[in-house]
Amino acid sequence: MSKLNVNIDHVATLRQQRLGLYPSVLEAAKVVVAAGANGITMHLREDRRHVQDRDVFEVRKKVRTKLNLEMAVYPEIIRIALKVKPEWSTLVPEKRQELTTEGGLDCVRGSVKVGRAVEKLNKAGVIVSLFIDPDLKQVRQAKYLGADLIELHTGTYADAKTKAAEDREFIKLRDAAGFASMLKLGINAGHGLNYKNMARMKQIKEIEEYSIGHSIISRAVFAGLEAAVKEMLKLTR
């Protein structure tokens, strides 16, 4: 049975539209956990476009759950992670001009930088996940660099326009998960997953946990956050 980790970045996105105090990221985290989610994901971006430093520290201090801190390999953000000490950090690529994370981290080309970040976080007792495309070279490199987990980027699968394209991407995800399992890596998945395309993903038994945010927060506009989380929990389990 796969677990669900809910990304609450877009609660902060809505708040930052007015640079106000609501909706509360802390309150959202509490509702998500009460609804049965296995943990919280927050992406502390270098440009602070949604989640702010105080959000991360507040959630870490006041919500009893697993925290996954998503972050790029920036020295400033790594220093914050070392202070917060989340259960795990997921290293992701990041560009200021992107709307959302575009594709997986290239831990082959960025081997030295990523490897140093993994080592620093591991020494502080933080489990490290690498957000990568379902590419066997990237999976192998993640293991070589000492990552504990990988999070497979499911965005291309989720955005597929045809059944044939979806099939191709699904096979890549399935094969990457199988290979990662052979290498004794933990396996998570996320990006673009929603209430319709989750059903097929459950066929990949190696995936232990899903990180889902945008579709849940969007559904919450109509159904409420607690109900939206519970609906997705039924699909992941």
The residues carrying an active-site annotation are 43, 70, 191
Strand partners, 190: 153, 211
Which tokens sit at 237?
């389990």
Q: What is the distance between the alpha carbons of residues 117 and 114, in angstroms, rounded to a whole number?
A: 5
| 67: helix, strand or coil | strand
What are 212's strand-pairing partners?
6
Q: Are 153 and 191 in contact (CB under 8 A)?
A: yes
Helix ranges restricted to H, the chain: 9-16, 25-34, 53-62, 75-84, 111-123, 136-144, 155-158, 163-182, 198-201, 214-223, 225-236
What is the C-alpha separation between 230 and 217, in angstroms, rounded?
12
Q: Look-up: residue for tokens 């970040």? A: 117
